[in-house]
Each structure stands twice: as C-alpha cells, then as structure tokens.
C-alpha cells in the first residue's frame, strides 16, 4: 500500500520530537517544563516536532518555541482537529490517521523527548521504544521525568525484564532527565 506524501518544509538543523499531554487540567509544573523545553529548543536553533495541538503541554511547548523565534512543525490527524485545537501560528501538517502522524513525527525527528502525558503519550513512546528495540531506528529517547512522573513506568519495565518478558537490554533503550536543561543536553 502506498502512503500519501505529506509536505513538510525542509529544515537543515536538529529536530527534536516532543511527546506530551494535551490536557489543560495537568499540574502547572508540567506545562511550565514543556514551555521551557520548547523555548530551549528555539534558543539552540533546533526545530520542535510535536503533535500539532494548541492545548495542554503540547500548546505550551509550541507557543514557547514559536514565541522565542524557533521553528515548529505540528502533525495532526484531521479527526483530532477539534479536540486538540490546532496551533495555526506554526507549520502544521494534517494527516489522515494516527499511524501517519507517528510515522511523520518519527521521520522528521533526530531525537525524542517524552514529557508527562496520558495514554496517547504512553502509546507513542512505547512504539518508539519497540521500534528501537527492533533496530528500526538508532535515535535517542529521553524521558523528561518531572517530579518522578515516569517512575512507575520504569518500575514496570524493570519488572517485565525480571519476569523475562523483555530482554535485559530493554532498560538501556532510553535516558532519563530530571530537568529541562538535562533533557536539552541529552537531545544534542
């Protein structure tokens, strides 16, 4: 099956994909970290690749990156346009499915940072880790572990290794950053 081609403006610099929540009800510290991360990318001249939403952590990161003069590309499936409200002030590519969204996000990125988020964020990072485990990409995966948000996931991953459901090298597929600055440094 042939996939449709989606046009993304060329970018010669480093591109970092941010997986994060779209909830406006999340603790403010998470949105503040997302905004600081977006601004940090812009200051470094790097492009933010993200899910295209204008709400929650996604919106905070995109607005901060854009406000600091950075390049931002949002990738949004058409059916989510009303739910996650596009941030139209940046380049946005509307695709037809979640699969196309993730594939384009992966193709456009040099590294992945995972900030706090819900089931969608979890699904995105599990897929990128699975692909990395299968040697489908060598890209860096970093969890921005604000206030220990991802600690339970890490414990589960270790448990899956202890139970021999996953190989021991699974826990080496990602890095953990306790701060925005550390996540930016690891993204280089």
Whether 2 is in a domain gets the answer no
Q: What is the pLDDT of residues 23-61, one digit of tens each?
A: 999 999 999 999 999 999 999 999 999 999 999 999 999
The pLDDT-based confidence of 82 (bands split at 50, 70, 90) is: low
Task: Say if 33 falls within a structural domain.
Answer: yes
Range of the domain at 70: 15-187
CA distance 39 to 55: 16
Domain with 133 in it: what CATH number? 3.40.50.450
Going by pLDDT thresholds of 50, 70 and 90, the confidence category of residue 3 is very low
Residue closest to 28 by CA, chosen among 62, 60, 67: 60
> What stretch of H or E contains 46?
none
- For the chain, how many structural domains are there in total? 1
Q: What is the spatial distance between Cα 90 and Cα 145, in angstroms, rounded to a whole number?
A: 27
Q: What angle do CA 74, 77, 81 make, to 5 degrees?
A: 80
CB 103 within 8 A of CB 127: no
């Amino acid at each position: 099956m042939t996939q449709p081609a989606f046009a993304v403006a060329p970018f010669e610099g480093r591109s970092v994909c941010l997986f994060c929540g779209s909830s406006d009800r999340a603790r403010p510290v998470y949105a503040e970290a997302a905004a600081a991360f977006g601004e940090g990318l812009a200051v470094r001249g790097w492009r933010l690749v993200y899910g295209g939403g204008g709400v929650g952590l996604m919106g905070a990161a995109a607005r901060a990156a854009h406000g600091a003069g950075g390049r931002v590309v949002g990738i949004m499936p058409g059916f989510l346009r009303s739910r996650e409200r596009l941030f139209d002030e940046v380049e946005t590519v509307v695709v037809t499915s979640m699969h196309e969204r993730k594939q384009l996000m992966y193709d456009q990125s040099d590294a992945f940072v995972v900030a706090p988020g819900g089931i969608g964020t979890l699904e995105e990072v599990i897929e990128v880790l699975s692909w990395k485990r299968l040697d489908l990409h060598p890209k860096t995966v970093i969890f921005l572990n604000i206030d220990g948000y991802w600690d339970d996931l890490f414990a589960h991953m270790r448990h899956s290794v202890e139970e021999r459901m996953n190989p021991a090298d699974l826990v080496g597929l990602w890095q953990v950053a306790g701060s925005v600055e550390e996540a930016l440094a690891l993204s280089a």
